[in-house]
Amino acid sequence: MSARSGEPQERRPESVWDYPRPPAVRPSPERVTVEFAGVTVADTRSALRVLETSHPPVFYIPREDVAARLLRPSRRRSWCEWKGQAVYWDLVAGGEESADAAWSYPDPSRGFEAIRDHLAFYPSRVGRCTVAGEEVVPQEGDFYGGWITSEVTGPFKGAPGTAGW
């Protein structure tokens, strides 16, 4: 929304090849939602976007805007050279389960403190994700979890054969 008029802001095209390395953390005022098994898992206008060269944005949602009752800690852990150690969360709702559907950084590395107390979701492991009402297309592959919208252009890392870029 425009701060003055209350009208939606124009979403401008952006290339993932213009994103920085190391990644940048930027606030997103747009409404971001996550649904799984017909249940709203997250709904916020306070997401953070992590932007990294060659990757679609990953949206980190404040924990208070996530239905914590639907999350179950996973045993999975991973390491990011920029953000530190990630922990994972399973989603359980409507009689369905999605393993390792979300992740978070309980103690992020210096420079990424803003994502503490936030969760990111793999669009490919939930039913539906939206940004400003637009349904997200999951980033290919099973590693990065980027959110592709019409404003984001690639090519994107993550698909088979792109690991060496």
Q: Using H for helix, E for strand and C for coil, what is the string for the chain?
A: CCCCCCCCCCCCCEEHHHCCCCCEEEEECCCEEEEECCEEEEEECCEEEEECCCCCCEEEEEHHHECHHHEEEEEEEEEECCCEEEEEEEEEECCEEEEEEEEECCCCCCCCHHHCCEEEECHHHCCEEEECCEECEECCCCCCCCEECCCEECCCECECCCCCC
What's the pLDDT score for residue 165?
59
What's the pLDDT score for residue 164?
63
From CA 24, how far away is CA 125, in angstroms rounded?
A: 24
What's the pLDDT score for residue 51?
97
Flag residues of the chain having pLDDT under 70.
1-10, 163-165
φ/ψ (deg, to 5) at 22 = -65, 160
Which of 144, 7, 13 has the alpha carbon at shortest distance from 158?
A: 144
pLDDT tens readout for residues 98-140: 999 999 999 999 999 999 999 999 999 999 999 999 999 999 9
Q: Which domains does the chain have, with CATH numbers?
A: 14-153 (2.170.150.40)
Cα dihedral 57/90/117/153 (nearest 10): 0
* Residues counted in the chain: 165
